[in-house]
Structure 1
Amino acid sequence: MERITWFFMVCGCCMASLAMAAHSNRNLTTDQSALLALKARIISTSDPHNMIFTNWSTTTPVCSWVGITCAARHLRVAVLDISYFGLTGTVPPELGNLSFLVELRLTNNSFHGTLPQELARLRRLKYIGLEYNKLTGTVPSWFESLSKLEVFNLSGNKFSGSIPAAIFNLSSLQIIDLSYNQLLGSIPREIGNLTKLKEIYLDRNNFIEIPNDIGALDQLEILSGSIPSNIGNLTQIKGIDLGSNYLTGTIPHEIGHLPNLEELLLEMNNLNGAIPSSIFNMSKMTWITLHRNHLSEI
């Protein structure tokens, strides 16, 4: 009787293992299909070394493909990094099926067009790096679905319109880079919700106002993007780069009381009034640019 019981226990364990393996294989096939959809959207002539077109093949395991890292536990695609491949193409909606994706890195390619809404399904995503491509349209509001997002980089594209306020409800965000786009209007006051934010880059856009709420971000180290007077609350900030926007008003004298500030870049705006003398007495300051404004002498 004991032998029979032991036999059925072993059989049960084997069946469970086989079922788990089959389920894992099905999910990995889903990942493979999503990546092959991306491959199909890439122009072959933009991949002269066949980094994608030869390596991404159904004859080799997905987890061994160039630019792909799989999670050890689930054997699912966790990182897609094809940065600096010089690829030209569009982003397919099928990428939204990479349900275990943690990092999406497409930096310095020539992906164009708009971002598909299906990417909102990437609920495990912590890092999105789409900088220096040719993406267009508005910054999608569906990014608010990515509640675990920590790094959000869309710099160096052709995004236009205003920044959707919903993005600033992503409480895990630590770095935002929207510089070198065609964004305009005011920064949403919801930015004050991002208590973990350390760096924000907004330069080379067409912003006209930064809200007072930014003064609540006491962890902020770098501010790039009228300048609120409570900027003096940002005691951890090391760099302020708001060059080439349409900021107006005066330079708050409170800037001169930021103990860790090293760089102050305010060139090419519409700032006016006197330059606060205090900014020239800051012990850690190494770089100041104020040209092409309407500033008067100290």
Structure 2
Amino acid sequence: MNAMDNTSCFLFSISLLVSFFIVCLSTSITNLTTDQFALLAVRDPITRNPEDVLASNWSTTSLVCNWVGVSCGLRHHRVTALNLSRMGLQGTIAPHLGNLAFLVSLDISHNNFYGYVPQELARLHQRKSVCNTTTSVERELQILSLSLNGFNGGIPREIGSLHMLKELYLGRNNLKGVIPSEIGNLQSLEVMNLIDSSLTGFIPSSIFNISSLKIINFSNNSLSGSFPVHMCNHLPKLGGLYLSRNQLNMQIPSNLYKSRELQSLSLSINSFNGCKPREIGNLTILNELYLDENNLEGTLPDEIGNLSLEMSLEIA
């Protein structure tokens, strides 16, 4: 290859490299504007903002990554986390929230938001890639916290599309209806908290196949019926199971011992029947056990004596 050919190849390579950076830069600018527009649309239906934080801080005169409650990725400058918890905010949630394509964590708990949980949150399940000089960065929602608000209606089935979700907090709202079976699709889920939400119907059996689950808290609802007797066959990491104050009517599963990480078991104030399972004595790290106010029969199994002497125990 002669000198002219070498020069041509070099210039061609430089041209490709420059084009690559221009594409990435223009994409970053476009995406930044997209995130800014989405957040401003989220701000608009908020009718109460006690300290006027969002009105004064969420301004087009400053970079969106500097807005209060907003966190961005270091390289691609996309919004990756939104934390508006405990700000005394009131209003509805605009569907534009689903346009924050790289959002990993959303926490708007401890406010006074109301209305339906937006189905558009399901758009946050799609994997998005941003180019930079070394690699491709992928983002998908992993933490969703909407608890302690006034949301009503049902739990959107579309939440089952958030396949990378690890923590789901919807408790202490005015939600009604059943737990959608689609939540069983969340195979990365570690924490599921639906406490005190007026939910009814059966607990979907698909939930007990999520092997990553560490905490299940459905306390203080109106859940009824039973759940699979083999429920603990696929929950090896379960550390806390909270089902108290419901209307569950079945025998306590004898295979609870298969969840060997279980530390807290709360089944009180239901309609559990049958005998107190001896197998509970095999849960060697259990330190909280609440079985009171059920229809259980028989005496306390001797195997309970295998448990920690420091544990909280209510079985009457």
In structure 2, runs of 5+ residues without a counterpart are: 126-139, 244-249
1:199 to 2:224 alignment: no
Matched with 2:227 is 210
Aligned match for 1:89, one of 79, 88, 91: 91
Closer, same or farther in 2 for the Cα pair 1:40/1:284, shift >3 Å?
Answer: farther
Matched with 2:154 is 138
What residue identity is the alignment partner of 1:22? Answer: S
Closer, same or farther in 2 for the Cα pair 1:231/1:6, shift >3 Å?
Answer: closer
1:112 to 2:114 alignment: yes
Matched with 2:264 is 239
SS of alignment partner, residue 122 of structure 1: helix
How many residues end up aligned between the 2 structures?
Answer: 287
Matched with 2:295 is 271
Q: Is the 8 A contact 2:50 2:89 kept in 1?
A: no
1:22-64 C-alpha deviation (Å, 9 max, x unpaired): 2111111111111111100111xx3222221111111110011
SS of alignment partner, residue 27 of structure 1: helix
Structure 1 window deviating more from structure 2 (274-283 vs 151-160): it is 274-283
Matched with 2:200 is 184
1:38 to 2:42 alignment: yes
CA drift at 1:241: 2.3
Matches of 1:252 and 1:110, distance apart in 2: 43
Closer, same or farther in 2 for the Cα pair 1:9/1:257, shift >3 Å?
Answer: closer
1:154 to 2:170 alignment: yes
Matches of 1:84 and 1:24, distance apart in 2: 31
SS of alignment partner, residue 182 of structure 1: coil
Q: Is the 8 A contact 2:277 2:301 kept in 1?
A: no
Matches of 2:10 and 2:236, distance apart in 1: 62
CA drift at 1:147: 0.6
Matched with 2:26 is 22
Task: Tell me the TM-score normalised to structure 2 length.
Answer: 0.83
Aligned match for 2:278, one of 241, 244, 253: 253
1:174 to 2:190 alignment: yes
1:283 to 2:308 alignment: yes
Q: Is the 8 A contact 2:154 2:178 kept in 1?
A: yes
CA drift at 1:82: 0.8
Matched with 1:128 is 144
Task: Tell me the TM-score normalised to structure 1 length.
Answer: 0.88
Structure 1 window deviating more from structure 2 (7-16 vs 97-106): it is 7-16
Which stretches of structure 1, 4 residues or more, deviate above 4 A after TM superposition? 1-12
The Cα RMSD (Å) is 2.2
Matches of 2:65 and 2:153, distance apart in 1: 33
Q: Is the 8 A contact 1:191 1:214 kept in 2?
A: no
CA drift at 1:157: 1.1
Matches of 1:243 and 1:67, distance apart in 2: 39
CA drift at 1:5: 6.9
